[in-house]
Amino acid sequence: MIVIKELAKKFTVENPKKLSEQDKKDPRLDGRYFHSVKNVSLRCNKGQVLGLLGPNGAGKTTTLRMLSTALQPNSGSIMIGDIDVVADPVMARKKIGFLSGSTGLYGRLTGRENIEYFGRLNGMNEASIKAKINEIADQLDMHTFLDRRSENFSTGMKQKTSIARAVVHSPDVVVLDEPTTGLDIMAAKTVIDFIRDLKHKGIPVIFSTHHLDEVTELCDHISVIDHGLTSFDGPLADFVALSPNNLHEAFMRALHRSES
């Protein structure tokens, strides 16, 4: 279970005068501080997939980076089961499988070696790493490229390797930041099927996406962030009910809630 309450994060703006006109109009700008996340709350239970939606720059990635312990929040709380992520980030990292927006693979290493490295970082023994890689490679259809150097990988190969690296240690929760961006139809389907399998195993999954068809296919719960605020948080059925015949209109109505 993942529970986030009233999360907030601000960044110092070194020179406000150099900001673009669009940035200057952002309501989150306050003097020398930009409040990327102002007040975000959400909950993802065991066996649920939560779809995190919002415009570019809304604060989704900052929220996920705080959940992953990459950033320290200014206020609010994050709990994974009974682990306080803010108070005990080292223990929290052992519970989380996190895929960022950038793959960041080591190009000179093969796909297998990249995954093995992260398995060792998480304290796995060699036999467990080997077995887990074979299992994931079956699920993500990776065997044809697993032993090639990753610097020559396609976008889909890189993304699959990054996902494998994120879950090799069998985390309690999985957080995916736009996992299907840039993938072709077949690669995207493989990733979607993998997320569905995590759900069937009872693993809570939070993933951000701009693809509303993925939301209706996978998600039990929807959270929408706009200008650093939670503007909608509820079951998929409630989100769809905002505009039953048009998901894009439902999304726009969810955004406008933060303005009311």
Q: What is the mean pLDDT of residues 177-198?
A: 88
The pLDDT tens digits for 75-116 are 999 999 999 999 999 999 889 999 886 667 899 999 999 999
The pLDDT tens digits for 231-257 are 999 999 999 999 988 999 999 999 876
Crossing angle of the two packed helices 185-200 and 126-140, in degrees rounded to 10: 120
All domains of the chain, ordered by start, with CATH?
2-259 (3.40.50.300)
The pLDDT tens digits for 140-161 are 999 999 999 999 999 889 989 9
Residue 21 pLDDT: 77
Please check whether residue 99 is in contact with residue 163, taking contact to mean a CB–CB distance below 8 angstroms: yes
Cα dihedral 192, 194, 198, 201 sign:
positive
Q: Are strands 205-208 and 2-12 parallel, antiparallel or unpaired?
A: unpaired
The pLDDT tens digits for 17-35 are 777 777 778 888 888 888 9
Residue 103 pLDDT: 60
Picking from 68-82, 95-109, 186-200, 202-216, which range would have the lowest pLDDT averaged per residue? 95-109
Structure tokens at 243: 């505009």
State what percent of residues in the chain have pLDDT above 90: 69
**Per-residue DSSP letter, 257:** G
Reported in sequence order, the residue ranges of 83-228 that DSSP labels E, i.e. its strands, are 83-84, 96-99, 173-177, 205-208, 221-226
Residue 24 pLDDT: 79
The chain-wide mean pLDDT, for the chain, equals 90
Cα dihedral 110, 66, 193, 202 sign:
positive
Cα distances from 260 to residues 204, 222, 231, 253, 254, in angstroms, run 31, 19, 10, 11, 11
Residue 258 pLDDT: 56
